[in-house]
Structure 1
């Protein structure tokens, strides 16, 4: 059994149209939501190592999570170029190549890749959109990451910022 934690980066700013996509920062809502999500996740789970897209908005989301979840800051965080993708197929390949010794993975990435990956792992379309700063935890009925297959997942938790108090 494997556990997959997926978090979409918090809301990014679009106020500088000349800025390359990778360099876009978080907007006001994103800077507010990331720490709130960190605090909410801290209340439900132990901190875990994370793998993060190199996009600035994803790295700033991780920083915000750590602000709200200080114990997360003590974990290992790996920025991985392969996670700057909008393709579920690319994420699938990345997951399938992961060391089987890892019982869980926490990824901070992008849509539509995350939403599509969730639905493929669930084996049916259950989620129309993982919103910005949205979190999904899936339990996967596999022993090795290389055994990923459509329908091997079960959605254990879906948490989105608008459900949080305050």
Structure 2
């Protein structure tokens, strides 16, 4: 059994049109939501290594998560070029190559790739849109990541900023 944790980056800023997509920072809402999500996840998810897109908004989301979830700050964080994608097939290709001994993965990345990946792995549409700073935990009934598409994943948990008190 494998577990996949997905967290979409927090809300980014579009205020500077001269920035490249990967250079966009978080806006005020994103700066507020990332630590709040970290604090909320700290109560229900074990701190673990994180694989993060190199986009600035994703890296700042990780920093914010760690502010709200100090135990996460003590874990290794790996910036993964492959996670800067908007295509779920790129993510699927990356996941299929993960070593079998890795039981769980925590990824910070982008839409529509995350939403499409969840629907692909579940074998049916279960999600219209993963909101910014939204989190999902999927259970995958496989022993090896290379078997990812052989059995449908189950969305075990979800947490979105709008549901936080």
| TM-score of the aligned structures, taking structure 1 as reference length | 0.98
**Matches of 2:150 and 2:15 in 1, distance apart?**
39
**Does residue 134 of the first structure (1) align with residue 134 of the second (2)?**
yes
3-state SS of paired residue (1:86): coil
Does the 8 Å CA contact 2:34/2:65 hold for their aligned counterparts?
Answer: yes
- 1:1-166 correspondence to structure 2 within 5 Å: 1-149=1-149, 151-165=151-165
Q: Which runs of 5+ in 2 are unaligned?
A: none
**Matches of 1:150 and 1:133 in 2, distance apart?**
29
Does the 8 Å CA contact 1:120/1:150 hold for their aligned counterparts?
Answer: no
Deviations 1:7-59 (A, max 9, x none): 00000000001100010000000000000000000011210100000000000
Q: How many residues align?
A: 165
**Matches of 1:17 and 1:161 in 2, distance apart?**
26
**Matches of 1:107 and 1:70 in 2, distance apart?**
18
Give the ranges of 4+ consecutive aligned residues of structure 1 lying more than 6 Å apart after TM superposition: none
**Matches of 1:150 and 1:53 in 2, distance apart?**
26
Question: How much is the aligned-residue C-alpha RMSD, in angstroms?
Answer: 0.7
